[in-house]
Amino acid sequence: MIENKFSKLVQNVKPSGIAAFFEIASSLEDVVSLAIGEPDFDTPWHIREAAIHAISRGNTFYTPNGGFKELKEAVCNYLYRRFNVTYKPEENVIITVGCSEAIDLTMRVLLDPEDEVIIPSPGYAAYEPCVLACGGKVVALPLVEENRFKLTAEKLEAMITPKTKLLILNFPSNPTGGIMTKEDYEKIVPVIKKHGIMVLADEIYGELTYVGKHYSIASFEEIKDQVILMNGVSKAYSMTGWRIGFICAHKDVIKMMGRIHDNAILCAPTISQYAAIEALNNGDKVSEEMKVSFEQRRNYIVSECNRIGLPCFMPEGAFYVFANITSTGLSSEEFASRLINEAKVVVVPGTAFGDHGEGFIRISYSYSIEEIKEAIIRMEEFLRKLS
């Protein structure tokens, strides 16, 4: 009887393709997990200290709905300092409960039933459920390993229809580690402008770019009003649990988002906002230090994966390796399931990131080098037995 009470839109949302593997892993002992996309560093002390100081002063009450003025200013200063992108704190910024709220807000503000959203595939698993929950239609745009999982103008043009409302861009990419350079974006920007579609630019991994410097699509003035830039403090400052994200966009977009955010959320966590102010204003050095460590882990795990028979290209951003497992003859889900049960190593099947992730597994190198080395030993033995 209760089943008939659920929203038909929500019933269309599939369970997470990642959660099942976490549940299996939690039931086993001596498991090495390379599955979660979370930095293994403690939040830097000066950031924690800012939060502690706020608590000691009794600053534990509601903030303005859209976030502290000081935090909005810190966001704008950060974006200009690091990526040469300009926004006005009083008009173009809203502070969200992590990037998860930012994704949900974007869909709810933009989408009507049957509106189409182009999502590069493989892509971050949370986009599709938010689209479907709003009655939108997902259009998967295949990305290929041969092109280092980049988006091309030709493929984008071929996917756009009169119903296309939104394009989602996530570079550096989860799960592939692929990036888009300024030159890559210069080829697709005219297509975006020509069709007048909106763009959700998820740039949460912008600080983790290992080749050159991250270039934001919001830098292109000719489409800036069409871009909704999303970022946060989770990955760059090891602050995943603090739940602070932010959206920068045209003032009319921010106003419309405020209608939902003010009523459904009220405001992002107060103490976390104080911590985020400190991170964005004074965290460049520690962020760079963490990136150096991730780059060292990346170099090691890519070399080892290729050595043991899990071929992969050198990812240029984020902290994921998207390894090709087609030579094993197993599907992505079969490979990941057997790896947990037979080698007690947790990775994520590529299909958790869309159908075009078949033939791959995502391996996170946001773990210690000791854990990575142990996982490689176990995976090498697992592959030896398979062959």
Model confidence pLDDT, tens digit, residues 328-364 = 999 999 999 999 999 999 999 999 999 999 999 999 9
Report yes or no: 214 and 288 within 8 Å, Cβ to Cβ. Answer: no
The encoded tokens of residue 129 equal 């459920």
Q: Which residues of 196-215 are buried (b: 16+ CB within 10 A; e: fewer)?
A: ebbbbbbbbbbbbbbeeebb
Distance, CA of 105 to CA of 131 (rounded, Å): 11
Q: Which residues of 59-79 are buried (b: 16+ CB within 10 A; e: fewer)?
A: eeeebeebbbeebbbbbbebb
- CA neighbor of 117 nearest in space, from 387, 306, 337, 354: 354
Percent of the chain at pLDDT exceeding 90: 92
Domain 59-282, CATH class in plain words: alpha beta
DSSP string computed for 2-71: GGGGS-HHHHTSPPPTTHHHHHHHHTSSS-EE-------SPPPHHHHHHHHHHHHTT--S---TT--HHH
User: For residues 79, 82, 86 and 91, what is the CA-based torsion angle, rounded to 10 degrees?
Assistant: 10
Find how far residue 343's CA is from the centre of its chain: 28
User: What is the CATH code for 2-43+285-379?
Assistant: 3.90.1150.10
Report yes or no: 240 and 234 within 8 Å, Cβ to Cβ. Answer: yes
- Asked if pLDDT for residue 252 goes beyond 80, the answer is yes
What average pLDDT score do residues 211-221 get? Answer: 97
pLDDT tens figures, 37-79: 999 999 999 999 999 999 999 999 999 999 999 999 999 999 9
Query: What are the sequence ranges of the domains in the chain?
Result: 2-43+285-379, 59-282
Residue 277: strand, helix, or coil? helix
**Residue 333 identity:** E
What average pLDDT score do residues 251-275 get? Answer: 98
Residue 246: strand, helix, or coil? strand
Average pLDDT, rounded, for the chain: 96
Which residues share a beta bridge with 197?
none
Q: Is the peptide bond before 172 cis (omega within 30 degrees of 0)?
A: yes
Distance, CA of 30 to CA of 347 (rounded, Å): 15
pLDDT tens figures, 268-324: 999 999 999 999 999 999 999 999 999 999 999 999 999 999 999 999 999 999 999
Residue 378: strand, helix, or coil? helix
Which pTM value belongs to this model?
A: 0.96
The DSSP 8-state label assigned to residue 327 in this structure reads G
What average pLDDT score do residues 232-258 get? Answer: 98
Per the rule left: phi > 0, alpha: psi between -120 and 50, beta: everything else, 310 is beta
- Asked if pLDDT for residue 7 goes beyond 80, the answer is yes
Report yes or no: 319 and 364 within 8 Å, Cβ to Cβ. Answer: yes
What average pLDDT score do residues 247-276 get? Answer: 98
* 9 band by pLDDT with thresholds 50, 70 and 90: confident
pLDDT on residue 1: 64
